[in-house]
Structure 1
Amino acid sequence: MNDLVRAWVEGWVVSRGAAPPLTEPWGWTIDVGHLDHVTRHVLGAVGDDVEENAVRKVAEQVTGGGVWLKAFADPEVVRAWLGPRWWTDPEPGCLMSLPLTPDAPRPAPPPEGYRLRTWALGGVTRVLVTAPDGALAARGQIAPTGATAVVDQVETAPAHRRRGLGGLVMRTLQHAAAAEGARTAVLAGTPEGRALYESLGWTYQAPLTSAKFTSA
């Protein structure tokens, strides 16, 4: 199993309050418990090490709706291994990582009029930035699990983009995780978020395919 994928799985379940991952020969099964996201299967390999037989075996065993499959390989490759009852996100996500240093400077304060709040609960640190009118401007969360920490659910409201709020959220999360002893941060990002993460020093590690069983 790839160490970064393992770290991402361990941190993601803490971040989302999902069930502890069940180890499989090919990766992990995670019960999430949402109507549209009941369970997810995560392949433990990366890139060319993701095996066609493993993907097909997992996919063929799924019969109910709301089940997701995550594979850190090119969607064009993985799509060909899945049956017609699987929807595959045409935009490849990305697995990324960043070294964390305990002596990194604190992030700058938010722009004038914006308010930043940080709190920790249940092993997850959350950051919220609100606009001058009190509306949500940006948010994100991070789940440290020892030496690694997983960044999750980072978003900036469309009306508040290009004001440095995404970077503010990320730096605040990274600083909080480093203060708790994490030395590597991991995330599974979207194509839209990749440019932000790379501007903050994150390194691209592998593409990510997200597929959902449609039961249609």
Structure 2
Amino acid sequence: MIDSWTPADVSRTGQVVADWVWGWALSRGTPDPVTEPDGYRVDVGLPEHRVRYVLPDPASVGPRAAALTEPGTWLKVCGPVGRVRSALGSRWTIREPEYLMSTGLGTRPPTTPPAPYTVELHSTGDVHDVVVTTGKGWAAKGRVAVRGPAAVMDMVETDPAHRRRGLGSVVMSELSRVAASRGAVCGVLVATEEGLALYGKLGWTVDSPITAAHLATR
């Protein structure tokens, strides 16, 4: 999928993109996304991440990038960097590759982590945080935002001192279980290059490569 991506894939990933944008905004506590003619705008409101535009079609990158000048503006484009780079121009800093991924969710029992770890769940409305802890602090964690039938996994992280112990898989399994118990049937996330292998082993598939770029703050 990654190497063979074509513009025809845009139509197949439209709903996944929409689910991710709305779920990400819910997870991060931003205002609701605004639908634009070429995609979505999210007013993030942070000094180095003021606003982001998510574009499902790489063909719209050139006009959108040319119209943006404010430092702290981000673009997330569904398409490989080779299709996007020339349309951005020299003002934009391109980040490491990312990948839009999805999977089906189903009922599953709670996951038991290896000793001495335990799993905690903290929920606020439709946002749920899973924390794997040793009792002295977190070892791995992640968040899921559930919006209707879709659940967006976000901020999945393992402390470097606790890596290679299967804790990332524990977090993802628990996030999926919690989301399914709240009625979600599809999981969506955007993975880094590092996370791509883990999620692939857990049954997630790539819907589109993502090219991320930003206008640096001064």
TM-score (norm 2): 0.90
Residue deviations 1:43-89 (CA, integer Å, cap 9, x gap): 023xxxx21xx111111111111110000110122111102110001
Q: How does 1:176-215 map to 2 (within 5 A)?
A: 176-214=178-216
Q: Distance in 2 between matches of 1:6 and 1:160?
A: 34
Partner of 1:120: 123
Q: Distance in 2 between matches of 1:183 and 1:5?
A: 16
Q: Distance in 2 between matches of 1:92 and 1:25?
A: 25
Q: Distance in 2 between matches of 1:4 and 1:192?
A: 21
Contact 1:130 1:137 in 2 (8 A): yes
Contact 2:48 2:217 in 1 (8 A): no
Q: How does 1:43-82 map to 2 (within 5 A)?
A: 43-45=55-57, 50-51=58-59, 54-82=60-88
| Shift of residue 215, structure 1, vs aligned partner | 5.9
- Count residues in correspondence: 206
Structure 1: runs of 5 or more not aligned: none
Q: Aligned AA for 1:87?
A: T
Q: Does 1:139 align with 2:151?
A: no
Q: Aligned AA for 2:102?
A: S
Q: Distance in 1 between matches of 2:48 and 2:86?
A: 24
- Runs of at least 4 residues of structure 1 off by over 6 A? none
Contact 1:40 1:67 in 2 (8 A): yes
Q: Does 1:95 align with 2:107?
A: no
Contact 1:75 1:92 in 2 (8 A): yes
SS in 2 for 1:65: coil
Contact 1:139 1:153 in 2 (8 A): yes
Contact 1:56 1:81 in 2 (8 A): yes
User: In proportion to residue count, which structure has more strand?
Assistant: 1
| Shift of residue 104, structure 1, vs aligned partner | 2.1
Q: Does 1:37 align with 2:40?
A: no
SS in 1 for 2:83: helix
Q: Please provide the CA RMSD for this pair.
A: 1.3
Residue deviations 1:171-212 (CA, integer Å, cap 9, x gap): 000000000110000001101001111111111111111100
Q: Distance in 2 between matches of 1:122 and 1:61?
A: 37
TM-score (norm 1): 0.91
Q: Distance in 2 between matches of 1:86 and 1:122?
A: 37
Partner of 1:22: 34
Q: Aligned AA for 1:126?
A: D
Contact 1:92 1:207 in 2 (8 A): yes
Contact 2:148 2:183 in 1 (8 A): yes
Residue deviations 1:62-119 (CA, integer Å, cap 9, x gap): 1111110000110122111102110001x31101101011x32322x22212232111
SS in 2 for 1:84: coil
Q: Aligned AA for 1:94?
A: Y
Partner of 1:86: 92
Structure 2: runs of 5 or more not aligned: 1-10
| Shift of residue 123, structure 1, vs aligned partner | 1.7
SS in 1 for 2:44: strand
